[in-house]
Amino acid sequence: MVEAQYKAEQILDWLSDVADPEIPVLTIMDLGIVRGVDCTDGVEVALTPTYSGCPATEAIEQSVVAALEERGVADIRIKRVLSPPWTTDWISSEGRKKLKIYGIAPPERRNRPVECPRCDSSNTERVSEFGSTACKASYKCLDCLEPFEYFKCL
């Protein structure tokens, strides 16, 4: 049986359903780690890890393969793209909104306090440089008194 030709747009649409294993409210498309799709000889998906030691990298790659296999794609290759390195600037505006709704302060490149994702107060303080994952820091809001995580700028 000859495998059907796939279009990159269709593959990207399917990849928009693949959740990040560490922050399941985000997809890999929200994170901006999908660098490209090539459908000229099977399907090659280029992914950039969020950082070199990210423990979720292999899980994400396996999830991509599984998502495509579920849709009948048989010839799948994953290409890790390390340059340029991933940056939080690649998180989509939709992804930033999802983070805030989920209770994680999205990364912001600015010189002011991190805002609480629950009450929008900037009266916050860092509790720990590291949160539940290395890419997040633990904060607390001094107004609503809720703890929250901040997705650090990379």
State the span(s) of the chain assigned CATH 3.30.300.130.
8-86
Could you give the angle at the alpha carbon of 79 between the alpha carbons of 74 and 80, nearest 5°? Answer: 145
pLDDT in tens, the chain (154 residues): 344 588 999 999 999 999 999 999 999 999 999 999 999 999 999 999 998 788 899 999 999 999 999 999 999 999 999 999 999 999 999 999 999 999 999 998 878 899 999 999 999 999 999 998 888 999 999 999 999 999 999 8
d(Cα 89, Cα 67) in Å, to the nearest integer? 26
Structure tokens at 34: 């999908």
User: Helix 57-70 crosses helix 8-15 at what angle (to 10 degrees)?
Assistant: 120
| pLDDT tens for each residue of 75-114 | 999 999 999 999 999 999 999 999 999 999 999 887 889 9
Q: Which residue has the tokens 């999205």?
A: 106
CATH 3.30.300.130 fits domain 8-86: yes
Statement: the pTM of the whole predicted model exceeds 0.75: yes
